A and B are shown apart, each in its own frame.
Chain A
Amino acid sequence: MAAPLPKRIIKETERLQNEPVPGISALPHDDNARYFDVMVEGPGGSCYEGGVFNLELFLPDDYPMTAPKIRFLTRIYHPNIDRLGRICLDVLKNNWSPALQIRTILLSIQALLGAPNPEDPLNEAVAKQWKENQAEAIKTAREWTALYATAKK
């Protein structure tokens, strides 16, 4: 087996389970404690409200010196999230700091759902729509949320 799990990861995992963040859950895989199934609820009042979004999160070997790798698995209509579910978020890139945690990152992602930023687009088509016809964009986001992110299983 690989090196023992750092205390940091154990502690973070425990805390995620013992003091869960409302609307967010992250469960490590039994066979890989660095790989998490993440679920984020769309924030209330946003066009993602009522949606439950699945993400995958992986802690690389050099975590927490480098940021976790994270990606949406559920399709989502959002200017900062592309078709593959990759996320454009500063704290996952330049502004990552080892003092940040899984929970803070997930909170940032939830906040990003509440405040889409079409000025810094990853998904151009979506961002364009967002800028030019916000009402229409929000409507599409709602439809997608209902279509892809509403619990059926």
Chain B
Amino acid sequence: MDSEDEVNSVVSSVDVGMDDDDSSVDFGADSDVEIDDHYQDDAAFETQEKDLMPKKKAFEVDYRVYSPEDIQKQQDKQVAEVSTLLEQPHEITAILLRFGRWNKERLIEKYMDNQEEVLDKAGLGQDVYKSPPRIDPPRIFTCDICCEDGPHESFALKCGHRFCVTCYRQYLFQKIRGEGEAARIKCPGDGCNRVIDTKSLDLLVTSDLTDRYHELLMRTYVDDKENLKWCPAPNCVYAVECGVKKRDLNKVVPTVQCDCHHSFCFGCTLADHQPCPCSLVRRWLKKCEDDSETANWISANTKECPRCHSTIEKNGGCNHMTCRKCRHEFCWMCMGVWSEHGTSWYNCNRYEEKSGLDARDAQARSRQSLERYLHYYNRYANHEQSARLDKDIYHKTEKKMTLLQGASGMSWIEVQYLEEASRSLQQCRQTLKWTYAFAYYLARNNMTEIFEDNQKDLEMAVENLSEMFEKPTDQLAALKVEMMDKTTYCNRRRVILLDDTAKRLKDEQWEFNVELS
């Protein structure tokens, strides 16, 4: 069955990538993942495997899911490698790598160029003590933090700033628990840049705090790597690796499925929004929320980091902003890079004038286009709502399946088609929903019609299938074949729509009435 293959292709390509590790998965040229090297040895095997696999669809991307243990191993391996190269102990190498945001090549190059400078900047410069830090036995001295004279145990990093162990512990507790800091915890000494290493930390704090510390370190590791992202599902601990770069996001919608079954976009980590590219999704969501109070508050009180798009509320301080997440430095007024306008910050006034003008323009335009917007929005919202209602059905499906087994004498396996149908409905509605956001921004040309036809076909298929769910349970058994057919058809229409849209997106054939940012 040809259609069956298409339906399953998403799943199967993932399965192979994860279970067999053999990988038709290509992470792109600059991937650091060690596992890759290993599997290059099996090159011959790999090509064979590829031939056997169903052809990848245009809307699918290669990716791989990692557990926290895998990520830890990845880090450890890189640390070990660089450690031998730089002839530095592991904990010091780890600090260097974190400082270099895990870009090994650049770090090594810089280090070879000017060792002193790199060490200094990474918070490892100017050793006063040569021996590794340890907790000193109790003696009398005045700790500069608590002002107690002791006798107490004390600790100092290689910089020599000595404090009592109690204060050191409190300080680390505040940094880790209170501020969520890990990679850049400095010596408590005034103006000291020395960064605390894992070994010293282990000496000082209890295991629950070190656990948290390592969790935070892992978080910065994944955050620092462009090709790694956490699965955004609640309580999910997995991270996904995908080679799609930020600059490609206008040409591809990299949708991945985590081992926890959550499907999300690797580009923006929102739930699966195929076929709509990230920038349009962002624009659309913002637009849709424009009327809500929350959106009003957000737009009045926050801005997005120009680099990583984290939403930022400025709750005090000056215009010199440093994004907590990506450390991007920019100006709050004009959102420009800080380094570029450090001496001419008053340029920001131009922004004020221009934005005022833009705002007025935008308002005028939005009134004209309100009608058009509502057309798309209502359909978008309808699918969102229907998907929610279908979800209820999904929960009721199980009940229905049990009922059906009793009523018709069918086995559990035989009623699985209901669950399939329900899942398919969910997925198709999700896609349909986003086709409306996509269509809203689509400029009219010859291809728009093809898109709208595909959209219409999928919509009809979905509504047909959805209707069958409303039927009383006693009729469901008789509808089994028809329902299976309709499910298959829905899935097929979805694949066709996504494939066609993705191909044209890749070839930049779509014309939009807004700039893809």
Q: Report which A residues bind B (CB closer than 8 A).
A: 6-8, 10-12, 62, 64-66, 80, 86, 88, 93-95, 97-100, 104, 119-122, 124, 127-128, 131-132
- Please tell me which one of the listed residues B170, B320, B342, B348 contacts residue A65 in the complex, with CB atoms under 8 A apart: B170
State whether A119 touches B345 (Cβ < 8 A): yes
> Once the chains are docked, how many angstroms separate the CA of A12 from the CA of B148?
12
What is the chain B residue whose CB lies nearest that of A91?
B190
What's the Cα separation between A95 and B316 when bound, in Å?
16
User: Residue B243 at the A interface, CB < 8 A?
Assistant: no
With beta carbons under 8 angstroms apart, the residue of A64, A120, A122 that contacts B145 is A64
Contact mask B301-323 → A, CB, 8 Å, 1/0?
A: 00000000000000011111010
Contact among A66, A88, A100 with B318 in the assembled complex (CB-CB below 8 Å): A88
Question: Per a CB cutoff under 8 Å, which of B145, B171, B333 touches A8?
Answer: B145
B146 is an interface residue with CB less than 8 A from chain A:
yes
Cβ contact within 8 Å between B346 and A62: no
User: Is B148 in contact with A7, judged by CB distance below 8 angstroms?
Assistant: yes
CB distance from A149 to the nearest CB of B (A): 23
| A98 in contact with B317 (CB, 8 Å) | no
A124 touches B319 (CB 8 A): yes
Q: Return the contact of B319 from the options A62, A64, A121 (Cβ within 8 A).
A: A121
* Given A97-B190, A99-B190, also A124-B144 (CB < 8 A): no
Q: List 8 A-B contacts (CB under 8 A).
A: A8-B145, A93-B317, A97-B189, A99-B163, A99-B188, A120-B320, A121-B318, A122-B318
- Does residue B161 face the partner (Cβ distance < 8 Å to A)? yes
B346 & A8 in contact (Cβ 8 Å cutoff): no
- B346 touching A131 by the CB < 8 A rule? yes
B146: contacting residue among A7, A86, A124, CB under 8 A: A7
Q: Report the separation of the CA atoms of residues A120 and B320 in the bound assembly, to the nearest whole angstrom.
A: 6
Contact A7 B147 (CB under 8 A): yes
Distance, CA A62 to CA B322, complexed state (A) = 24
Contact partners of A86 in chain B: CB under 8 A: 316
Chain A residues with CB under 8 Å of B189's CB are 97, 99
Given that A131-B346, A132-B346 are known contacts, is A100 also in contact with B190, CB under 8 Å in the complex? yes
A88–B317 CA distance with the chains assembled, in angstroms: 5
Min CB distance B123 to A, Å, is: 14
**B188 adjacent to A97 (CB under 8 Å):** yes
The residues of B that contact A124 with a CB separation of less than 8 Å are 319, 333, 348
Chain B 344-357 near chain A by CB (<8 Å), digits 1 or 0: 01101100000000
Given A65-B174, A95-B191, answer yes or no on A128-B346 (Cβ-Cβ < 8 Å).
yes
**Contact indicator B188/A119 (Cβ below 8 Å):** no
Q: Report yes or no: A119 in contact with B342, Cβ–Cβ below 8 A.
A: yes
Residues of A within 8 A of B161 (CB): 99
With CB as the reference atom, state the residue of chain B lying closest to A10.
B147
Cα distance A36–B161 when bound, in Å? 29
What is the chain B residue whose CB lies nearest that of A119?
Answer: B342
Digitize B76-104: 1 where CB-to-A-CB distance is under 8 Å, 0 elsewhere.
00000000000000000000000000000
Report which residue of A65, A80, A95, A119 has the largest number of chain B beta carbons within 10 angstroms of its beta carbon: A65
Please, which residues of chain A bring their CB within 8 A of the CB of B190? 97, 99-100, 104
**Given contacts A62-B174, A99-B161, are A12 and B147 in contact (CB under 8 A)?**
yes
A98/B319 in contact, CB under 8 A: no
Q: Is the CB of B345 within 8 A of A121?
A: yes
Contacts of A131 in B (CB 8 A): 345-346
Q: Is the CB of B316 within 8 A of A99?
A: no
Expressed in whole angstroms, the Cα–Cα distance for A135 and B161 within the complex equals 44
Which residue of A is nearest B187, CB measured?
A97
What is the minimal beta-carbon distance from B268 to any residue of chain A, in angstroms? 29
Q: A6-B146, A97-B189 are in contact. Are A120 and B170 (CB under 8 A)?
A: no
Most buried by B among A11, A99, A132: A99
Query: Is B468 interfacial (CB 8 A cutoff)?
Result: no
Contact B146 A120 (CB under 8 A): no
A-B contacts counted at CB < 8 A amount to 68
A131 to B349, CA, bound (A): 13
Kindly list the 9 A-B residue pairs having the minimum CB-CB distance in the complex, ordered from nearest. Answer: A65-B174, A11-B147, A88-B318, A122-B318, A8-B147, A99-B190, A98-B145, A97-B190, A99-B144
B168 nearest CB neighbor, chain A only: A98
| Cβ-closest chain A residue relative to B186 | A97
Contacts of A122 in B (CB 8 A): 317-319
> Is B406 an interface position by the 8 A CB rule?
no
Complex: A94 Cα to B163 Cα, angstroms: 20
Q: How far is the CA of A55 from the CA of B348 in the complex (A)?
A: 31
Q: Say yes or no for B178: interface residue by CB 8 A criterion.
A: yes
Asked if B345 and A97 sit within 8 Å, CB to CB, the answer is no
The smallest C-beta distance from B113 to any residue of chain A, in angstroms, reads: 28
Query: Is B369 part of the binding interface, using a Cβ–Cβ cutoff of 8 Å?
Result: no
| Nearest CB of B to A66, in Å | 7
Q: How far is the CB of B210 from chain A (nearest CB, A)?
A: 19
Is B235 interfacial (CB 8 A cutoff)? no
Contact with A along B423-436 (1 / 0, CB 8 A): 00000000000000
What residue of chain A has the Cβ atom nearest to residue B172's Cβ? Answer: A65
Per-residue CB contact flags for chain B residues 133-155 toward chain A (1 = under 8 Å, else 0) read 00000000000111110000000
A93 to B345, CA, bound (A): 22
Q: Knowing A65-B170, A86-B316, A99-B188 touch, does A119 contact B146 (C-beta < 8 A)?
A: no
The answer to whether A97 and B333 touch (CB under 8 A), given A65-B171, A120-B318, A121-B318, is no
Contacts of B349 in A (CB 8 A): 128
Within the complex, what minimum Cβ distance (angstroms) separates A80 from chain B? 7
Measured in the bound complex, the distance between the Cα atoms of B161 and A120 in whole Å is 30
**B167: CB under 8 A from chain A?**
yes
Question: CA A138 – CA B146 in complex, angstroms?
Answer: 41
Chain B residues lying within 8 Å of A132, measured Cβ to Cβ, are: 346
- Which single residue of chain B is at the shortest CB-CB distance from A122? B318
Q: Which residue of B lies closest to A93 (CB)?
A: B317
